[in-house]
Amino acid sequence: MVSKRRKLREAVVKALFQLDFRPDEFEDILRDTLSDEKIQEVKKDVERYLKRIRENRERIDEIISKYLLNWDFGRVSYIDRNILRLGAYELLYEMDVPIEVTLDEMVEIAKKYGSEESGKFVNGVLDKIAKTEAPKEKFDL
């Protein structure tokens, strides 16, 4: 059985992925995502995550770019890029989610939806972000 948190995260990644191709259709994508019967129990969280990621996307993308060694943000696959956005968002803004949980979940989602190398790639980038950018309070969870 898939956990509520996993449903939340997968729904957010899928919506973010769509937004890369249809950036002007946030409200439509949000509505379609929230109407999915499989996520009704986490609907409010999905909406909050998507709205806050959208509000903070520039900062999130800048932070991700800073930790992509020898790699251009625009060359990162769409799925990996959006898993990184979600992971960075959780590390920086979701104060009740432990760092290890975010890292583990993003790696699992990357393995499921990305390429063979996605899990390692996502883990490497998010681990650097966690160690240097995550709020100090998160280290005590």
Q: Which amino acid is at 99?
A: I
CATH superfamily of 4-140: NusB-like (1.10.940.10)
Instruction: Summarize pLDDT for 42-91 with one digit per residue, the tens.
Output: 999 999 999 999 999 999 999 999 999 888 888 999 999 999 999 999 99
Prediction pTM value: 0.95
- Of 46, 63, 54, whose CA–CA distance to 24 is shortest? 54
Tokens of 5: 């948190």
* pLDDT bucket at 139, cuts 50 / 70 / 90: confident
- Domain boundaries of the chain, sorted by first residue: 4-140
